[in-house]
């Protein structure tokens, strides 16, 4: 019996994949693997219902805690951000792919499949993990060059009930929610308010609210003084930030293939945590560490965006980042108001900060000592200016 394991979401693309894998690829047994990284409960239930109806076997894996602890927390430490995108979808794909591989091995499958198209980034993220095995990799949407209209027709012919009226393509996990497709593909189109689910309109937000995030070694551990595990902390911050309209991104994104794409995201908790973490780093890390870490963080983010999490450089960068986080402990207070999350206070036992030395009202430092330094500051620039006045 020929078996194939499919990364399954319950949506149009992956649902259509099931009969395609049988009819066009000759597989007798399709295993739909549903990996829960914080999707809405109704989406998981719908995926299970469709998986039961369409596949020969479906497997649901609760990976929320693993996703937060092993993927999101390292992202926070690296201030993960690609062109303004907080890497919500991209950081989840390697975990999902690895879970599919694990199921495939257990079930004795000889192939791995996903429903990604040939235009986006996800195909690369799944392919990289899948191709690290000796199993065949199948991507029906890409290989058969299918577009949405053709998928809906095929689904109807096979009794797969998926509404063709659904305007937007949604991808959601505990860290972010992406909204794309249809009119949103036009960069001149102003998104309607009804595309948003996690965030209220900033104009309608309530009075300002101050919250406090506690960190230990770069990991967020508490909210307003109460210790919380990662999943609960992110869920609560999504609610806190969402009601204030915090965490919306509308951007033109450069995909790996070179295509520019218009993307809309919601990510209240991510916005709050990344801003708080980076601000705390500015208090405890040296200027040289911060300067070099910006380069490391940028490179780390690009690797994650491209799905290159098995590249040796990814591990090397994580080793450096982990070392810098030993002192990133303390707390950060933020003010949430009308779509903004602004840092208003921070503290740490490792702060490289002396109130006495920096204060204009203290004589701990003798100001006259700075004169010698000042005389040599910009020395070469002054020489250049003097010697080249006529240039």
The pTM of the full predicted model, rounded to 2 decimals, is 0.94
Say yes or no: do domains 3-166 and 172-347 share a fold: no
**What would the two tokens of residue 214 be?**
């506690």
CA distance 352 to 349: 9
% of residues, the chain, pLDDT over 70:
99
What residues are paired with 93 via a beta bridge?
A: none
Do the beta carbons of residue 112 and residue 141 sit within 8 Å? no
Mean pLDDT of 89-105: 97
- Report pLDDT for 388: 85
d(CA 266, CA 278): 20
For 172-347, CATH number?
A: 3.90.1260.10
pLDDT surpassing 80 at residue 127: yes
Provide the pLDDT confidence category of residue 182 given band limits of 50, 70 and 90. Answer: confident
Arithmetic mean of pLDDT, 111-115: 98
391/387 Cα distance (integer angstroms) = 9
> How many alpha carbons fall within 13 Å on the CB side of residue 117?
11
pLDDT band at 165 (very low <50, low <70, confident <90, very high): low
Active site residue 15: no
Is 134 among the catalytic positions? no
Q: Please report which confidence band the pLDDT of residue 361 belongs to, taking 50, 70 and 90 as the band edges.
A: confident
pLDDT at 150: 93
CA 21/CA 28 separation, integer angstroms: 8
Residue 87 banded pLDDT, cuts 50, 70, 90: very high
- The fold adopted by the segment(s) 3-166 is Rossmann fold (3.40.50)
Q: Distance (Å, rounded) from C-alpha 359 to C-alpha 361? A: 5
Residue 2 confidence (pLDDT) above 60: yes
Q: Which of 9, 13, 50, 262 is catalytic?
A: 13
* Whole-angstrom distance, CA of residue 53 vs CA of residue 190: 38
Decide if pLDDT at 262 tops 70.
yes
Calculate mean pLDDT across residues 41-48.
95
> Quick check: is 250 catalytic?
no
Q: Which of 15, 55, 90, 122 is catalytic?
A: 122
The tokens describing 369, both together, are 């000592």
Q: Which one is catalytic: 93, 262, 327, 346?
A: 93
Beta bridge partners of 31: 5, 57
Of residues 191 and 370, more confidence is placed in 191
pLDDT at residue 248 tops 80: yes
Q: Tell whether the model's pLDDT for residue 164 goes beyond 70.
A: no
**Does 100 have pLDDT greater than 90?**
yes
Answer yes or no: 122 catalytic. yes
Q: Which of 182-196, 262-276, 348-362 has the lowest mean pLDDT?
A: 348-362
What share of the chain in percent tops pLDDT 90? 87
Looking at the chain, the number of H-run helices and the number of E-run strands are 15, 14
Over the stretch 57-70, which tens digit does the pLDDT of each residue have? 999 999 999 999 99
- CA–CA distance, 94 with 195 (Å, rounded to integer): 27
Q: What is the mean pLDDT of residues 194-215?
A: 96
How many Å apart are CA 121 and CA 107, to the nearest integer?
28
Give the count of beta carbons closer than 10 Å to the beta carbon of residue 28: 11
Q: Give the model's pLDDT for residue 321.
A: 98
DSSP class of residue 72?
I
**Domain locations in the chain as residue ranges:** 3-166, 172-347, 362-387
Compute the average pLDDT of residues 231-237.
Answer: 98
pLDDT band at 7, cuts 50/70/90?
Answer: very high
Q: Is the pLDDT of residue 202 over 70?
A: yes
**How buried is residue 299: exposed, middle or buried, by Cβ count under 10 Å (0-12/13-18/19+)?**
middle
Q: What one-character-per-residue DSSP string does 234-280 give?
A: HHHHHHHHHHTT--EEEEEEE-TTS-EEEEEEE-HHHHHHHHHHHHH
pLDDT band at 325 (very low <50, low <70, confident <90, very high): very high
Q: What is the per-residue pLDDT across 8-21, written as a single tens digit (0 to 9) for each?
A: 999 999 999 999 99
327 pLDDT band (50/70/90 cuts)? very high
Tokens 């708080």 correspond to: 276
Hey, is 172 helix, strand or coil?
A: strand
pLDDT at 128: 97
Band of the pLDDT at 103, cuts 50, 70, 90?
very high
Confidence check: pLDDT of 174 > 70: yes
Which is the catalytic residue, given 98, 136, 142, 169?
Answer: 169
Q: Is 23 left (phi over 0), alpha (psi -120 to 50) or beta?
A: alpha
> Taking 70 as the threshold, does the pLDDT of residue 391 lie above it?
no
């Amino acid at each position: 019996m020929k078996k194939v394991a499919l990364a399954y979401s319950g949506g149009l693309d992956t649902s259509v994949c099931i009969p395609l894998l049988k009819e066009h690829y000759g597989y007798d047994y399709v295993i739909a693997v549903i990996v829960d990284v914080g999707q809405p409960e109704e989406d998981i239930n719908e995926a299970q219902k469709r998986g039961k109806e369409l596949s020969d076997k479906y497997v649901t894996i609760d990976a929320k805690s693993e996703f937060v602890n092993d993927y999101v927390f390292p992202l926070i430490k690296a201030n993960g951000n690609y062109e303004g995108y907080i890497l919500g979808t991209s950081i989840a794909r390697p975990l999902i792919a690895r879970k599919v591989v694990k199921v495939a091995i257990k079930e004795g499958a000889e192939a791995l499949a996903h429903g990604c198209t040939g235009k986006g980034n996800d195909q690369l993220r799944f392919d990289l993990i899948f191709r690290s095995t000796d199993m065949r990799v199948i991507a029906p949407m890409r290989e058969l060059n299918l577009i949405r209209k053709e998928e809906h027709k095929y689904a109807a012919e096979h009794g797969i009930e998926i509404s063709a009226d659904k305007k937007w393509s949604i991808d959601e996990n505990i860290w972010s929610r992406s909204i794309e497709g249809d009119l949103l593909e036009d960069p001149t189109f102003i998104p309607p308010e009804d595309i948003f689910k996690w965030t209220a309109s900033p104009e309608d937000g309530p009075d300002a609210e101050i919250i406090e995030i506690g960190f230990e070694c770069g990991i967020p551990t508490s909210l307003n003084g109460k210790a919380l595990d990662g999943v609960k902390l992110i869920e609560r911050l999504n609610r806190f930030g969402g009601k204030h309209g915090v965490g919306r991104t509308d951007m033109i994104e450069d995909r790996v293939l070179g295509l520019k794409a218009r993307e809309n995201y919601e990510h209240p908790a991510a916005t709050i945590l990344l801003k708080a973490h980076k601000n705390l780093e500015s208090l405890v890390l040296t200027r040289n560490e911060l300067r070099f870490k910006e380069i490391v963080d940028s490179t780390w983010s690009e690797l994650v965006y491209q799905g290159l999490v098995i590249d040796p450089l990814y591990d090397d960068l994580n080793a450096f980042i982990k070392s810098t986080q030993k002192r990133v402990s303390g707390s950060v207070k933020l003010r949430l108001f009308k779509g903004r999350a602004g840092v208003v206070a921070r503290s740490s036992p490792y702060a490289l900060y002396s109130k006495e030395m920096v204060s204009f009202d203290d004589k701990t430092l003798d100001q006259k000592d700075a004169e010698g330094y000042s005389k040599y500051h910009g020395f070469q620039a002054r020489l250049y200016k003097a010697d080249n006045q006529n240039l």
